[in-house]
């Protein structure tokens, strides 16, 4: 996302979320420039790494305000070594496919007390992305609300340009072959190439799909 | 026969329709029950489990034989046949969440020593998680329960284990009585729901655990 785009988008997202605050949504913003403390927009110099605390309704609202984007959500946590290893790949995807309409969102399943650690990690990876932290932290509510299969991180969700959840990637004790980052890439590329109306004809691979049956019924 | 056949056929058709309508009703009622049961949080009494793709509450626990332990011996589930209950926990050395729960697990195993058999299993291929490193960890922390390694990862798959740590409570008949997380918060100070301990206490008192399933949380088990 361009700097200008972000300067417009982020305040809008905050405005939207604050407007919905009567519904119990919470969005807090923390900037790496202040080492974890609140900061105002337009802070100088350093990479614009921003972290929003968000709950599920806020997350849904955020996604709804990204029309026409293919959205990849990377669910990770500072306490999850495999997540930390895979994280740079998400940053790379954002750089590579951002111009084509990919929006990468990271969501840290970390408690509030870990905010500084989250920011340190984001800054180290130059994660100039839409970075979120679940308001419920590492608690079970996060994993249930965001439907993180098997409570296992890392976990990815991929939404098409119409905002529909099309793929999830998570560890699967039933699958012979586990998902790889190459699979994520391929799915991103496929969805970026989709024209409006393609969605009905492009079939998702059943053994990689973690969707519940409602998803496939919806497609038919 | 020819004259009456259409009438007979219509009669049969009506009977068949009535029967199939009854069948549809029955299926609908049964589905409602199953759906209702499946949707009630944490209490999957019938039908698919909410958070486990492989096992459901009440299923026979997958068996294993001859898994190597950190004590240098081979272990089978049958070794613990005299135990009133068994807690199987999929864990590993390296995952910070699994490490966070080690103390709680040790404490639990100690307090329930003569009542419940705890057995920890790792199926991780990460070098830091293999048997030699497991031995070091078991010695360092003073694990008083078996810590087993399954190179093939099959036991993890058969339990539908997805993350470390992931807990399974087996009753006296070795059926799954509870599965999921140990409790509801990594931060011990903030725990409100002691899922596993409550389930164990219920079992030992001859009751059914109130909460039979919760969502396990942790580092994904990397199957290969």
Q: In the predicted model, what is the mean pLDDT of residues A15-34?
A: 49
Asked whether the whole model's pTM tops 0.90, one would answer: no
B35 belongs to a structural domain: yes
B53 belongs to a structural domain: no
Given B157, B187, B215, which is nearest A111 (Cβ)?
B187
**pLDDT score, position B106:** 97
Domain ranges, residue B85: 67-220
B47 belongs to a structural domain: no
Do the chains contact at A174 and B160, CB–CB below 8 Å?
Answer: yes
For A83, the closest chain B residue by CA position comes to B219
Least Cα separation, residue A111 to chain B (angstroms) = 9
Do the chains contact at A150 and B184, CB–CB below 8 Å?
Answer: no
**pLDDT score, position A196:** 73
B160 belongs to a structural domain: yes
Joined together, the tokens standing for residue B4 give 């009456």
B117 belongs to a structural domain: yes
Do the chains contact at B156 and A173, CB–CB below 8 Å?
Answer: yes
Asked if A123 and A49 touch (Cβ cutoff 8 Å), the reply is yes
For B217, the closest chain A residue by CA position comes to A151
CATH code: domain of residue B161: 3.40.30.10
For B96, the closest chain A residue by CA position comes to A79
Do the chains contact at B163 and A152, CB–CB below 8 Å?
Answer: yes
A170 contacts in chain B (CB < 8 Å): 162, 220
For A78, the closest chain B residue by CA position comes to B96
Do the chains contact at A173 and B53, CB–CB below 8 Å?
Answer: yes
Is B18 found in the same domain as B122? no
**Cα B55 to chain center, whole Å?**
6
A175 contacts in chain B (CB < 8 Å): 223
**pLDDT score, position B12:** 62
Q: CB-based contact (8 Å) between B161 and chain A?
A: yes
B51 belongs to a structural domain: no
**Cα B149 to chain center, whole Å?**
18
Q: CB-based contact (8 Å) between B127 and chain A?
A: no
**Cα A146 to chain center, whole Å?**
11
B115 belongs to a structural domain: yes
Do the chains contact at A171 and B162, CB–CB below 8 Å?
Answer: yes
Q: CB-based contact (8 Å) between B97 and chain A?
A: yes
Q: In the predicted model, what is the mean pLDDT of residues A125-129?
A: 95
**Interface probe, candidates A143, A150, A171, chain B, greatest B C-beta count within 10 A:** A150
Do the chains contact at B217 and A149, CB–CB below 8 Å?
Answer: no
Is B177 found in the same domain as B122? yes
A109 contacts in chain B (CB < 8 Å): 217
Is B132 found in the same domain as B184? yes
**pLDDT score, position A208:** 45
A149 contacts in chain B (CB < 8 Å): 162
For B191, the closest chain A residue by CA position comes to A139
B96 belongs to a structural domain: yes
Do the chains contact at B186 and A174, CB–CB below 8 Å?
Answer: no
For B221, the closest chain A residue by CA position comes to A171
Rg of chain B on CA atoms, in Å: 23
Is B172 found in the same domain as B77? yes
According to CATH, what is the number of the domain A3-32+46-219?
3.40.30.10
pLDDT category of residue A219 using cuts at 50, 70 and 90? very low
pLDDT category of residue A195 using cuts at 50, 70 and 90? confident
- Rounded to two decimals, the ipTM of the complex is 0.78
3-state secondary structure chain B: CCCCHHHHHHHHHHHHHHHHHHHHHHHHHHHHHHHHHHHCCCCCCCCCCCCCCCCCCCCECCCCCCEEECCCCEECHHHHCCCCEEEEEECCCCCHHHHHHHHHHHHHHHHCCCCEEEEEEECCCCHHHCHHHHHHHHHHHCCCCCEEECCCCHHHHHHCCCEECEEEEECCCCEEEEEECCCCCCCHHHCCCCHHHHHHHHHHCCCCCCCCECCCCEEECCCC
- Residue by residue, pLDDT tens for chain B (224 residues) are 444 566 666 666 666 666 666 666 666 566 555 555 555 444 444 557 999 999 999 999 999 999 999 999 999 999 999 999 999 999 999 999 999 999 999 999 999 999 999 999 999 999 999 999 999 999 999 999 999 999 999 999 999 999 999 999 999 999 999 999 999 999 999 899 999 999 999 999 999 999 999 999 999 999 99
For chain A, the domains span 3-32+46-219
Is B216 found in the same domain as B107? yes
List the Cα angle A34/A40/A43 in 5-degree steps.
Answer: 65
Q: How many domains does chain B have?
A: 2
Is B11 found in the same domain as B117? no
Is B35 found in the same domain as B88? no
Do the chains contact at A174 and B161, CB–CB below 8 Å?
Answer: no
**pLDDT score, position B9:** 65
Q: In the predicted model, what is the mean pLDDT of residues A132-144?
A: 96
Do the chains contact at A151 and B215, CB–CB below 8 Å?
Answer: yes
Which comes out higher in pLDDT, residue B192 or A28? B192
A9 — phi, psi (to 5°)?
Answer: -65, -50
Is B106 found in the same domain as B188? yes
Size of interface A-B (CB pairs under 8 A): 96
**pLDDT score, position B18:** 62
B215 contacts in chain A (CB < 8 Å): 140, 143-144, 151
B184 contacts in chain A (CB < 8 Å): 139-140
């Amino acid at each position: 996302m361009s700097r200008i785009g972000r300067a417009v988008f982020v305040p809008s997202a905050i405005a939207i979320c604050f407007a919905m605050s009567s519904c119990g949504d919470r969005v807090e913003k923390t900037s790496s420039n202040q080492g974890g403390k609140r900061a105002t927009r337009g802070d100088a110099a350093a990479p614009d790494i921003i972290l929003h605390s968000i709950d599920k309704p806020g997350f849904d609202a955020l996604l709804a305000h990204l029309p026409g984007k293919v959205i990849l959500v990377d669910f990770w946590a500072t306490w999850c070594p495999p997540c930390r290893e895979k994280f740079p790949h998400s940053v790379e995807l954002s750089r590579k496919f951002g111009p084509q309409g990919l929006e990468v969102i990271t969501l840290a399943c970390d408690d509030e007390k870990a905010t500084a650690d989250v920011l340190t990690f984001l800054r180290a990876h130059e994660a100039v992305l839409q970075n979120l932290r679940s308001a419920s932290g590492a608690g079970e509510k996060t994993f249930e609300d965001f439907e993180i299969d098997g409570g296992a991180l890392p976990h990815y969700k991929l939404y098409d340009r119409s905002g529909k959840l099309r793929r999830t990637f998570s560890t699967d004790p039933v699958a012979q072959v586990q998902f790889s980052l190459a699979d994520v890439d391929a799915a991103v590329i496929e969805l970026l190439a989709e024209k409006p109306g393609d969605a009905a004809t492009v079939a998702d691979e059943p053994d990689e799909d973690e969707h519940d049956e409602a998803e496939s019924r919806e497609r038919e | 026969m020819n004259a009456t056949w259409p009438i007979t056929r219509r009669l049969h058709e009506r009977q068949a329709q009535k029967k199939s309508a009854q069948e549809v009703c029955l299926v609908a009622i049964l589905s409602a029950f199953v759906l209702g049961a499946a949707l009630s949080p944490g209490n999957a009494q019938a039908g698919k489990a909410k958070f486990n793709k492989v096992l459901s509450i009440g299923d026979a626990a997958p068996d294993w034989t001859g898994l190597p332990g950190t004590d240098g011996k081979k272990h089978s589930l049958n070794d613990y046949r005299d135990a009133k209950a068994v807690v199987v926990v999929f864990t590993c050395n390296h995952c910070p969440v699994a490490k966070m729960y080690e103390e709680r697990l040790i404490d639990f195993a100690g307090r329930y020593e003569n009542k419940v058999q705890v057995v920890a299993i790792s199926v991780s291929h990460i070098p830091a998680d293999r048997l030699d490193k497991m031995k070091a960890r078991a010695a360092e922390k003073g694990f008083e329960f078996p810590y087993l390694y399954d190179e093939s990862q099959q036991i993890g798959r058969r339990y539908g284990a997805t993350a470390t740590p992931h807990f399974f409570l087996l009753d006296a008949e070795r059926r799954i009585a509870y599965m999921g997380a140990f409790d509801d918060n990594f931060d011990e100070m903030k725990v409100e729901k002691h899922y596993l301990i409550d389930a164990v206490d219920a079992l030992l008192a001859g009751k059914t655990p109130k909460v039979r399933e919760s969502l396990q949380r942790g580092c994904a088990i990397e199957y290969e």
